[in-house]
Chain A
């Protein structure tokens, strides 16, 4: 039972001008071990808030959230996080970044070195161990961030628009990498993204969230992630079913945005 269970999560903020914002309203779901979930939605739908609550950076104002039966009250190693800009420590080299978590746990040096080598190999950065991270390209930095997160062997990996800042080609390669890692490690992964295509490709399950108040709007069960493990991602994107779902979701989000604009006017 190492599932992620969200039960009636509610989150309200107060802006400095005193306006109440309902960022999350009655969000409930269960994410089973080994599932790959992508979360999609227009800006302001509360998807990042949801992620921050799961990571333990924020406490919900209502409801319960638990991983493997333990209530989440703060950040923890069992929930690894990959940020949009990598959030690497630029004063450290690649390997020092990757084994940061191990060093905090005071893992012996030899053990660390072996693990670093293994993970740099997996993310395709063999030989870059002594390179300062600020000399790496954006895609390579995200690989470091992935390795840094995975080396801690978390039960759940949270990704906050991890590929948002990358160019199209790099992005596609990274999507393959994420799928490979999911397939090989069997980790539970939750990805937040802005891109509908990415959400379809990297989501065994897909939540579409709606804003004002932020809530789960629709859930999909999708086959593309499983297919993507062996097939070329570009071919999958050409599939007829892929196109249909993409159009459906795009229309859905388009309407939500229209509604917000209407409300705002």
Chain B
């Protein structure tokens, strides 16, 4: 069942989107009609005007989900499941052309020759300007300047159309002709042949569909259109490879290069023979020579061409691009309307979504991911989200009894006897119980990331309530308690809970106790303050009445002041749950090996956006659930609130 849903996400989305669109249109229509009817008999500003507009809630939910579908490209996948695969093939063309484009303004702002020339000139200028401080004498310096002028001449020769190498002229012509040929081939309706399509699509056999695995977009073409672009891209890659090999090594350039080399070597031998220089001067001279030599060596690979040689190639590429655009046909429209802000990019061995579709997973994918990790056999990092586990009763009892209880009991642990046997005494028995080290029946307990998070919040909250409420009530009725504890609580309460986290997690360790203690101090302050407010709010007449009815101090506390403080206490619990929930997730991100916050943090490290969204949704829904439970409890336990 789940398998089926997971494998047919695209089709399911298609149905859901239609339902959402219909519901949106329907609810808006209904809402507008209803508003028109009500407008006549309602007073503007009446607070009741906001009630009973369920259809706007439907419209809101539907539009939110539709926006999600649009920006996550879920609509594209639902209705044009092949589009990503085809866009990927088109992207292959861009990838194949990228080496050529890197030499052109299309890919790099400037022609590559322009960039090289301006950079080399700037560096030669730098060297020439600094020549006076490198420890050369005047004669040597003049000679070096002459050599630099020679090197500048190399650039002039390279950029001069008259001295361009014959091979490179032929090479570019060849590239241009092949590109034009490929542009024509791309435009040829007879290409690719049915046979070619069959051969190439056979490679795509069995590859996973869009979004069904960690490979986001299927790589091999599945349609005739895709095959066309793929084959052209392969040919273009070969052309681009040849383009990269073209060099402008004219005889004039080689001759000049050799001449400079001879001159430089001769100069080097001469200046290196000079003796009696300081160490600093020696270093500076060597360094300057090395820089000049390195610059000069850049010219012998012939990568600088005359200004207009690439015009033909450029226009041929434009022809390829125009044909690429034309041959996309309806795909272009799909791309413009369904891939909100982003596209699919091919890089080396995979095609990936770039843009909102990347970090905003499709709704159905999020559900599928939830379904996958909700499966207790899979889980996340070998821990299920929430599941049942059989735990020995002994372990549960041991959880609540610290080992030191046994240590502080009077007496000592037994010593082994002469026959090597050990007879447990009372002290040892207590230790065994505290460590849960005996056979006992097992009972089912909850386990997993979600349960761990819930358990920590509930434990922290429980300690906060058990200790905070009595103190709060005592502070509400006793001058001593109020003034003695007020400074302590007011000093620690304003500290943001997470500011305690590093300290507490260091002291208690990353296991549950640290987090529970952190949540305890969060809940404690809230519970103290709310119980105190509730206790302070008890009407004097009620307390007097209970005195007259013969109640003792203890009875008044338990029977009158505590129930009277219940509304505030329950509101406090409701607030404390919310604050604890927020604190817990952040604490789990800091440290730990289980919990929803831990899951989200791991997913962040691996950029697993689907899991991140799953955790966000789980956190939101659990928070909502806590609040609903509290609202239910409040409605059931204190219906008398505010009616005293």
Chain A interface residues (CB < 8 Å from chain B):
55-57, 74-77, 79-81, 83-85, 87-91, 100-101, 104-105, 132-134, 148-149, 152
Known A89-B560, A91-B563, A132-B639: A104·B552 in contact at CB below 8 Å: yes
Q: Does chain A have a CB within 8 A of B298?
A: no
Using known A-B contacts A90-B644, A91-B640, A132-B640, determine if residue A100 contacts B542 with beta carbons closer than 8 Å. no
C-alpha gap A226/B621 in the complex (Å): 70
Stretch from B266-274, B385-393, B543-551 contacting the other chain: B543-551
- Minimum CB–CB distance from B174 to chain A (whole Å) comes to 96
Residues of chain A lying within 8 A (CB to CB) of residue B639: 132, 134
With both chains docked as a complex, state the minimum distance between the C-beta of B210 and any C-beta of chain A, in angstroms. 60
Q: Is A87's CB under 8 angstroms from B549's CB? A: no
| Given known A-B contacts A87-B541, A87-B544, A77 and B644 have beta carbons under 8 A apart | no
Across the interface, which residues of A come within 8 angstroms of B549, CB to CB? 77, 80, 100-101, 104, 148-149, 152
Question: Of the candidates B551, B563, B640, which one forms a contact with A104 in the assembled complex, judged by CB atoms under 8 Å apart?
Answer: B551
Q: B345 interface residue, CB < 8 Å from A?
A: no
Q: What residues of chain B lie closer than 8 Å to A84, measured between beta carbons?
A: 541
With both chains docked as a complex, state the minimum distance between the C-beta of A141 and any C-beta of chain B, in angstroms: 11
**Nearest CB of chain B from residue A99's CB, rounded to whole Å:** 10
B563 touches A87 (CB 8 A): no
Choose one: B546, B550, B555, B638; the contact of A91 (CB below 8 Å): B638
A132 CB contacts on chain B under 8 angstroms? 639-640
Asked whether B412 is an interface residue with its Cβ less than 8 Å from the other chain, the reply is no
With A83-B541, A85-B541 known as contacts, the answer to whether A55 contacts B644 (CB < 8 A) is: no
* A-B pairs, 9 with minimum CB distance: A75-B547, A101-B549, A134-B643, A87-B541, A77-B550, A90-B644, A81-B548, A90-B640, A87-B545
Which of A74, A83, A91 is in CB contact (< 8 Å) with B545?
Answer: A83
Q: Quick check: B643 and A90 within 8 Å, CB to CB?
A: yes
- Chain B 468-490: CB-based contact to A (< 8 A → 1; otherwise 0): 00000000000000000000000
Q: What distance in Å separates the Cβ of B386 from its nearest Cβ neighbour in chain A?
A: 36
Taking CB as reference atom, which chain A residue is nearest B545?
A: A87
Per the bound structure, the CA–CA distance linking A89 and B564 in Å amounts to 8
CB-CB under 8 A from B640, the residues of chain A are 90-91, 132-134
Q: Which B residues touch A57, using CB under 8 A?
A: 544, 547
Residues of B at the A interface (CB closer than 8 Å) are: 539, 541-542, 544-552, 555, 559-560, 563-564, 566, 638-640, 643-644
Q: List 11 A-B contacts (CB under 8 A).
A: A57-B544, A75-B544, A81-B544, A83-B544, A83-B545, A87-B542, A87-B544, A91-B563, A91-B638, A101-B551, A149-B548
Cβ of B547: which chain A residues have Cβ within 8 Å of it? 56-57, 74-75
Q: Which residues of B contact A74 (CB under 8 A)?
A: 547
Set of chain A residues within 8 Å of B563, measured between Cβ atoms: 89, 91
Given the known A-B contacts A89-B563, A104-B555, A134-B643, are A77 and B541 also in contact in the complex, defined by CB atoms under 8 Å?
no
A81 and B639 alpha carbons, distance in the complex (Å): 27
Structural contact, A104 and B541, CB atoms closer than 8 A = no
Contact of B542 among A56, A89, A149, A152 (CB under 8 A): A89
Neighbouring B residues of A101 by C-beta, 8 Å? 549-551
When distances are taken between beta carbons in the complex, the residues of chain A under 8 Å from B552 are 104
Chain B residues near A134 (CB-CB < 8 A): 639-640, 643-644
**Bound CA–CA A259/B379 (angstroms):** 86
Interface of A is mostly: loop
Chain A residue numbers with a CB within 8 Å of B539 are 87
Q: A145 — nearest CB in chain B belongs to which residue? A: B545
A152 to chain B: which residues have CB within 8 Å? 549-550
User: Which one, B542, B550, B566, contacts A76 given CB within 8 A?
Assistant: B550
Give Cα A94–Cα B181 distance, bound, in whole angstroms: 99
Distance in Å: Cβ of A134 to nearest Cβ of chain B: 4
Contacts beyond the supplied A76-B550, A84-B541, A104-B551: 5 A-B pairs with Cβ under 8 Å: A75-B547, A87-B539, A100-B551, A104-B550, A104-B559
Residue of B nearest to A91 (CB): B563
Residue of B whose beta carbon sits closest to that of A79: B548
Query: What's the minimum C-beta distance from A69 to chain B, rounded to whole angstroms?
Result: 20
Shortest CB distance B588–A (Å): 38
Pick from A80, A88, A133: contact of B548, CB under 8 Å: A80
Q: Smallest CB–CB gap between B332 and chain A, Å?
A: 70
Q: If the complex has contacts A132-B639, A134-B640, are A81 and B545 also in contact, measured as CB distance less than 8 A?
A: yes
Q: How far is the CA of A80 from the CA of B549 in the complex (A)?
A: 7
Nearest opposing residue in chain A for B542, CB measure: A87
Decide: A100 and B548 in contact? CB cutoff 8 A.
no
Query: Who on chain B is nearest to A151 by CB?
Result: B549
Which chain A residues lie closer than 8 Å to B544 at the CB level?
55, 57, 75, 81, 83, 87
The docked-state distance in angstroms from the alpha carbon of A41 to that of B537 is: 31
In the complex the two chains form, is B548's CB within 8 Å of A77's CB?
Answer: yes
Query: Nearest residue in B to A133 (C-beta to C-beta)?
Result: B640
Q: Which of B539, B559, B560, B566 has the largest number of chain A CB atoms within 10 A?
A: B559
Residues in chain B near residue A83, CB distance under 8 A: 541, 544-545
Q: Which residue, of A79, A83, A149, has the highest number of chain B Cβ atoms within 10 A?
A: A83
Cα separation A74 to B553 with both chains bound (whole Å): 13
CA distance A77 to B643 in the complex (A): 27
Which B residues touch A75, using CB under 8 A? Answer: 544, 547-548
Residue of A74, A79, A134 with most chain B CB atoms under a 10 A cut-off: A134
Residue on A with the closest CB to B638?
Answer: A91
Report the Cα distance A104→B644, complex, angstroms. 21
> Which residue of chain B has the shortest Cβ distance to A105 in the bound complex?
B550
* Chain B residue at minimal CB-CB distance from A96: B559
CB distance from B353 to the nearest CB of A (A): 59
Contacts of A79 in B (CB 8 A): 548
Query: What separation, in Å, do the CA atoms of A105 and B546 have in the docked complex?
Result: 12
Nearest CB on A from B642, distance (A): 9
Minimal Cβ-Cβ distance residue in B for A80: B548
How far in angstroms is the closest Cβ of chain B from A185? 17
Q: Which residue of A lies closest to B556 (CB)?
A: A104
CA–CA, A89 to B566, complex, Å? 13
In this complex, what residue of B is CB-closest to A148? B549
- Complex contacts, A100 vs chain B, CB 8 Å: 546, 549, 551, 559
Nearest CB of B to A6, in Å: 18
- The CA-CA distance from A100 to B542 in the complex, in Å, is 12
CA distance A76 to B559 in the complex (A): 18
Look across to chain B and name the residue whose beta carbon is closest to the beta carbon of A52. B544
Specify the chain A residue showing the minimal Cβ separation from B546.
A100
Q: How far is the CA of A91 from the CA of B566 in the complex (A)?
A: 10
